[in-house]
Chains A and B, each alone.
Chain A
């Protein structure tokens, strides 16, 4: 039994790197997949559209906690291989980010008026050229505030990785709490760190929203 010291706080700060790692992996892999999802969902091909919709509804209908459990405990049972926590947790967050970013970006794409793609088509652009040069840049601006908003959700949700024993910020807080019997101090520190990361992002998202509103 020992008291809560500065070194406990430092351990938490150290664990932030694993929170950051999860976020970066989820964005780096989930981002491109999300773009693919958004393109499938806005595609005229009913098969691609249907596949994306099914994936989306599964991910939306299952709690993130459930997905983490599935990829950490479930997949090894089915496949008979032991997967390191970092990998299974990364897969869960990647799938989560892909589905939700895909929906946010689909909304952005559909918010660009069909006039724009019509004008592009009438100038002889291909569907891809139209998407790349006309639709996507406008959709990106429209979806940027919501995308940053999702980033905040993602950062906070990485705390769920603690349930499979992955040591990131929240898990570091649990460990500190268990070692020092000072849950209030420990979790207050954890919350303060999350807040310090997320608050500037929400502010940024808000200012983006205002700025883009002026332009429109």
Chain B
């Protein structure tokens, strides 16, 4: 069984079916990039994976554990599944250090005080922001805030990271620094599922591309093959429209 096993997932909002039977497998260490037009269900799928959204049908398993099972301890599962959002969602009333150490100390991953600060320092060095440990989010640029958000995720020691259009809210000149952090993570073997409009990133870093269209997986495969030889007119159109 795959590390992340998404099987025939269906999801409706009111009367609109957003996901119409989605099946995707993600192996440990894989970088899966979900691309597709706005409204194709990409972000919804990502939110279903960590249980932020319920599903109507099908099943999602992470490391064998059924996400939408009532018996599943969603909190414990989420400690292993990090998610980074488009809008950063840092806690504005806390310093960078507090943002990072809040969850690890509350969930007893690390003791308060010296050990927590050491952890904050360590994850901040992975995103290149050690010197901002005592800053407040509002004192940081968008790119820096997003890197802190990634560090906050890393502090929980996730086995899987989800990225929901994390560069879409950034000024163009700040996109690169965030993508670089994600590339480093990919190189270190982190399992990642990301929704993105950064086609170059998808092409160069992803181990698998999933093209979603109208609530379904329309095509999937290795980036080189998929971008060179799109099998369907929808993907062909999509690729040409993103250039």
Contact = CB atoms under 8 A, between A and B. Distances in A.
Do A and B interact?
A: yes
Interface of A: 115-116, 118-126, 129, 133-134, 137-138, 141, 215
Given A118-B52, A121-B52, 4 more contacts: A119-B85, A122-B50, A125-B75, A125-B102
Given A122-B82, A124-B75, A133 B89 contact: no
Q: Closest 3 CB pairs between A and B?
A: A123-B103, A119-B89, A124-B79
Interface string B59-92: 0000000000000000110110011010101111
Contacts of B228: none
A134 B52 CA distance: 18
B89 A125 contact: no
B156 interface: yes
B107 interface: yes
Contact of B106 (A118, A119, A129, A138): A129
Nearest to B100: A123
Interface string B107-139: 100000000000000000000000000000010
B60 to A, nearest CB: 15
Name the residue among A120, A133, A215 with the largest chain B CB count within 10 angstroms.
A133
Contacts of B89: 115-116, 118-119
A109 to B, nearest CB: 14
Given A121-B52, A123-B156, A125-B106, A138 B78 contact: no
B93 interface: yes
Nearest to A123: B103
A157 B107 CA distance: 46
B93 A137 contact: yes
A123 B93 contact: no
Q: Which of A119, A120, A122, A137 neighbours the largest number of chain B CB atoms within 10 Å of its CB?
A: A122
Interface of B: 50, 52, 75-76, 78-79, 82-83, 85, 87, 89-93, 102-103, 106-107, 138, 152-153, 156
Contacts of B91: 116, 119-120, 134, 138
Contacts of B153: 123
Contact of B78 (A116, A124, A129): A124
Contacts of B75: 121, 124-126
B52 A123 contact: no
A125 B76 CA distance: 9
A33 to B, nearest CB: 25
A150 B192 CA distance: 50
Contact of A125 (B83, B90, B103, B138): B103
A119 B152 CA distance: 10
Contacts of A115: 85, 87, 89
12 contacts: A119-B91, A121-B52, A121-B78, A122-B50, A122-B83, A123-B79, A123-B152, A125-B103, A125-B107, A138-B92, A141-B93, A215-B138
Contacts of B156: 123-124
Nearest to B93: A137
Contacts of A121: 52, 75, 78
A123 B78 contact: yes
A115 B84 CA distance: 11
A116 B90 CA distance: 8
B165 to A, nearest CB: 14
Contacts of A141: 93
Nearest to A119: B89
Contacts of B52: 118, 121-122
Contacts of B92: 138
Contacts of A126: 75
B167 to A, nearest CB: 17
A119 B93 CA distance: 14
A141 B93 CA distance: 10
A124 B76 contact: yes
A39 B78 CA distance: 25
Most chain B CB inside 10 Å of its own CB: which residue of A116, A120, A121, A124: A124
Nearest to A127: B75
B75 to A, nearest CB: 5
A121 B79 CA distance: 10
Contacts of A123: 78-79, 102-103, 152-153, 156
A133 B87 CA distance: 20
